[in-house]
Amino acid sequence: MKAEIIAVGSELLTPDNVDTNSLLLTHQLNEAGCQVHLKTVVGDDRDDIARVLREALERSELIIFSGGLGPTEDDLTRNAVAAVLHRRLAIDEGLLEIIRQRFIARGFRMAKINEKQAEVIEGAEVLDNPFGTAPAMWIEEKGRCIVLLPGPPRELQTIFEMSVLPRIRLRSGGMRLVYKSFHVTGITESELDSQIAPIYTDYPQVRTTILAGTRHIAIRLYRWATGEEEPPDIIELSDRLQAALGNSLFSTKGEFMEEVIGSQLRQHGRTLAVAESCTAGMLGMHITRVPGSSDYFKGGILCYSNEAKIELCNVPPELIQKHGAVSAEVAEALACGVRNALHSSIGLSITGIAGPGGGTAEKPVGLVYIGISDGKHTESRHRIMPGERESIRERSTYLALSWLRRFLMRDTVSNP
Amino acid sequence: MKAEIIAVGSELLTPDNVDTNSLLLTHQLNEAGCQVHLKTVVGDDRDDIARVLREALERSELIIFSGGLGPTEDDLTRNAVAAVLHRRLAIDEGLLEIIRQRFIARGFRMAKINEKQAEVIEGAEVLDNPFGTAPAMWIEEKGRCIVLLPGPPRELQTIFEMSVLPRIRLRSGGMRLVYKSFHVTGITESELDSQIAPIYTDYPQVRTTILAGTRHIAIRLYRWATGEEEPPDIIELSDRLQAALGNSLFSTKGEFMEEVIGSQLRQHGRTLAVAESCTAGMLGMHITRVPGSSDYFKGGILCYSNEAKIELCNVPPELIQKHGAVSAEVAEALACGVRNALHSSIGLSITGIAGPGGGTAEKPVGLVYIGISDGKHTESRHRIMPGERESIRERSTYLALSWLRRFLMRDTVSNP
């Protein structure tokens, strides 16, 4: 089914807001066998909404509106749709009573203005909205389906999943999009592409995309299919990619690196502590995004000053004097020091120059050292990160996590 | 001038990508006196692109395309636009030579495929693209202006500013959008609105919007104006709002809270250290987003385990035993302890239950204590944060920053 999405709201036409509802809708529409071929954002303007709907009716089988169903003067989706379809808009007494009860249940009286929300387009099916008073509608018109959803993401999402998706699945004849995602790290986008292009080009039915982000590279496989079973070609491609990617591949389930590391640490009964200089908390924050991370994360030290490095991480002042705070020696001393200070199995450290100031010819902005120690083995690596201050800090954080994962994978790692 | 933006690219119709080029374009179009009344995202499909252009020509004076100007089969913007306007598409020999030289300058030979990028629509002005080989175009058609811009943000942005904006300004008769932004904290959105609505409704020419985010609430004022001077009504409204908002207002320049705090600390020659339990680095990370924050931020302790609270922040174990790690007593002890451990003027602490596990009837998920100490005064406050784990951690971080700002504003704060 050819679908299009129309987001209504003048706030979506300002420099500050972008329509994100359509991403979730697209994801679920794809899985239900609908391809989104067009998206429009239109302001709270009755003529513009009507015009876009008229055009949509000429090109799409499924038209999904989000927003413009509230109680105020600005909320014009209902009116515009009714006008284009030449249908009446009338108060539905049953719905009015439901809305009134919702207000009472929350301890409010319904204001007169909210009566407007009980207006239903002639012939529309009203879709239940458990989280709000704006009623959603499903309308059929000459073989086209028109869906009106409220803008607040929680309401939109719930109604879409509960009431819209089942109706769409009925109509899409069992086609669905099979989707796989691989997360890869430690390789550049072009290296990756030249490595896997000879493989994925063998499977023309599968669309393969490579998307490089700051955190990792995602390889995505999409394939239209009927029935419940996975098509053999996408299974075969997926197996071949896994074999080719080896250690670069860290998740086939869409996990983030900190989740993978959490499983590794938990599996081996190891604990972790971090010493962060230039990232000053970003590493700890990422590790603890995972619920239950207190099982293996003992804490850390934000050693933003040399004083903190010396006093809290036990780095010898001579080491800083001789090699500088951004050096392999200090990164290793920090990893050992924080491991001891927090009695953890493993210590992980970051020290670098995030800029914009502080760089020299010898040690430029972007130079970052990462240290790891498990008490028996202590090592460090460095890299010069491109980009601005925040980007340097982010890349350093992800690289530290990535190196930690490889460290944990090695046989040489032993329990303390 | 009524403008609309058409983003071309099938990748913008997947669940993973959103068109962000239009945000920058909208911002600059507004300032140049153009209102964006519609945005469309269309795939790499010649018929869809052509259809959208035909509709746009009926409703908009300025039509801006982004994307679809590359050298591959998928890049169809040029062809679709030429077809709709019934104009020829022909290789421009001068442009071809420029593109060829660009490749040579980078040490490459131009591939045959790139010749397509020298194709120019009859009657179009070619706009210089200093950062790429895709040529941008300015086309006039029956009083309408059509602009073709490449998709990569850096190219789009540069061409837009260098070549498109000046042409638009010439046509928009000197109208521009005057814009002000106020950042507010420590007040709910509805409290804020009931406080300032009686003021801003006195100025019907100024559009006032209130946008609540996790970090703060932004009040934005927009007003169309001619000439260089600010209209008196927006100045008056802005003065009245500042007076009414008092201490809730923390920036009239769009600054983030951590920047304001940085200025406060630097101004008074004070230093800061943090002890973070549930946020585990998020506070430190935010404070150090500001370049030069090492002038006043000494570091911190991620006391994710009780052990770390006791050993590194010097919290008496009895205190944890008696009151629990999430308590006013421990928050205050952490603030004092980290202040001493890092020899800073001020210690700031966060301890809370981020969930999803760990909550009890007495101490539910979302309960967060924040402690502050300057050595003479030590205090704490608590709040129950709504939302999920990450949202609780973010809100706790912003609240800690907000309370620190108010603490720093008080006369009672003295240097250590």
Q: Where is average pLDDT lowest: A84-93, A183-192, B139-148, B312-321?
A: A183-192
Q: Identify which of A11, A51, A282 has the shortest CB distance to residue B281.
A: A282
Minimal C-alpha gap between A261 and chain B (Å): 17
Chain B residues lying within 8 Å of A303, measured CB to CB? 299
Question: Which range, A106-110, A151-155, B86-90, is most confident?
Answer: B86-90
Residue B292 has a pLDDT of: 94
Taking residues A80-85, what's their average pLDDT?
Answer: 97
Task: Output A416 or B12, whichever has higher pLDDT.
Answer: B12
Residue A384 has a pLDDT of: 93
Residue B56 has a pLDDT of: 96
Q: Are strands A89-91 and B346-352 parallel, antiparallel or unpaired?
A: unpaired
Asked if the Cβ–Cβ distance from A36 to B13 is below 8 Å, we say yes
Q: Nearest Cα to B305, choosing from B297, B295, B315?
A: B315
Minimal C-alpha gap between A174 and chain B (Å): 20
Residue A412 has a pLDDT of: 42
- Determine the residue of chain A that is closest to B297 in CA distance: A304
* CB within 8 Å of A219: residues ≥ 6 apart: A181, A182, A184, A192, A196, A208, A209, A210, A211, A241
Asked if the Cβ–Cβ distance from A16 to B23 is below 8 Å, we say yes
Residue B412 has a pLDDT of: 42
Q: Nearest Cα to A273, choosing from A343, A351, A327, A377?
A: A343
Report CA A76 to chain centroid distance, whole Å: 31
Asked if the Cβ–Cβ distance from A26 to B11 is below 8 Å, we say no
Position A382 confidence tier, pLDDT thresholds 50, 70, 90? very high
Most A CBs within 10 A among B36, B285, B289, hence the mutation to make, goes to B285
Minimal C-alpha gap between A384 and chain B (Å): 19
Whole-number average pLDDT of chain A: 91
- Cβ–Cβ under 8 Å, residues B128 and B159: yes
Instruction: Indicate if ipTM > 0.85.
Output: no
Question: What is the spatial distance between Cα A257 and Cα A268, in angstroms, rounded to a whole number?
Answer: 17
- Cβ–Cβ under 8 Å, residues A402 and A185: yes
- pLDDT of A342 strictly over 90: yes
- Residue A414, CB-side half-sphere exposure with 13 Å CA sphere: 5
Chain B residues lying within 8 Å of A48, measured CB to CB? 37-38, 59
Phi-psi sector, A200: left (phi>0), alpha (psi -120 to 50), beta: alpha
Query: Mean pLDDT for each 10-residue chunk of chain B (416 residues)?
Result: 93 85 90 90 94 95 94 87 96 89 79 85 92 88 95 90 90 78 86 90 88 82 84 96 95 92 95 98 98 96 97 97 97 98 98 93 96 96 90 94 94 42
- Cβ–Cβ under 8 Å, residues A71 and A103: no
Most B CBs within 10 A among A34, A288, A391, hence the mutation to make, goes to A288
Compute chain A's Rg from CA coordinates.
28
Position A137 confidence tier, pLDDT thresholds 50, 70, 90? very high
Structure tokens at A249: 């591949």
Asked if the Cβ–Cβ distance from B304 to A297 is below 8 Å, we say yes
Position A266 confidence tier, pLDDT thresholds 50, 70, 90? very high
Report CA B164 to chain centroid distance, whole Å: 24
Longest C-alpha distance within chain A, in Å?
Answer: 83
Structure tokens at B62: 């300025």
Q: Nearest Cα to A178, choosing from A32, A23, A26, A36?
A: A32
Taking residues A155-160, what's their average pLDDT?
Answer: 92
Predicted model pTM: 0.76
Q: Identify which of B18, B292, B389 has the shortest CB distance to residue A291.
A: B389
Asked if the Cβ–Cβ distance from A305 to B16 is below 8 Å, we say no
For chain B, domains (ranges, CATH) are 2-171 (3.40.980.10), 176-251 (3.30.70.2860), 261-409 (3.90.950.20)
Over residues A165-181, the pLDDT tens digits come to 989 988 877 777 788 88
Residue A300 has a pLDDT of: 98
Minimal C-alpha gap between B341 and chain A (Å): 8
Residue B413 has a pLDDT of: 42
Q: For chain A, what percent of residues have pLDDT higher than 90?
A: 66
* CB within 8 Å of B192: residues ≥ 6 apart: B184, B210, B217, B219, B248
- Cβ–Cβ under 8 Å, residues A283 and B294: no
Chain B residues lying within 8 Å of A289, measured CB to CB? 389-390
Asked if the Cβ–Cβ distance from A288 to B308 is below 8 Å, we say no
Taking residues A122-145, what's their average pLDDT?
Answer: 91
Q: Identify which of A220, A281, A283 has the shortest CB distance to residue B283.
A: A281
Chain A residues lying within 8 Å of B51, measured CB to CB? 55, 59
Neighbouring CB atoms inside 10 A of A390's CB total 13
Taking residues A45-63, what's their average pLDDT?
Answer: 95
Most A CBs within 10 A among B180, B304, B306, B391, hence the mutation to make, goes to B304
Q: Identify which of B11, B59, B341 has the shortest CB distance to residue A312.
A: B341
- pLDDT of A294 strictly over 90: yes
Question: What is the spatial distance between Cα B241 and Cα B249, in angstroms, rounded to a whole number?
Answer: 9
Asked if the Cβ–Cβ distance from A299 to B312 is below 8 Å, we say yes
A and B: number of Cβ contacts within 8 A? 205
Position A416 confidence tier, pLDDT thresholds 50, 70, 90? very low
Minimal C-alpha gap between B120 and chain A (Å): 26
Q: Nearest Cα to B258, choosing from B289, B300, B298, B224?
A: B289
Residue A106 has a pLDDT of: 72
Name the DSSP class of B233. H
Dihedral over Cα of B252, B257, B263, B265: its sign: positive
Asked if the Cβ–Cβ distance from B304 to A292 is below 8 Å, we say no
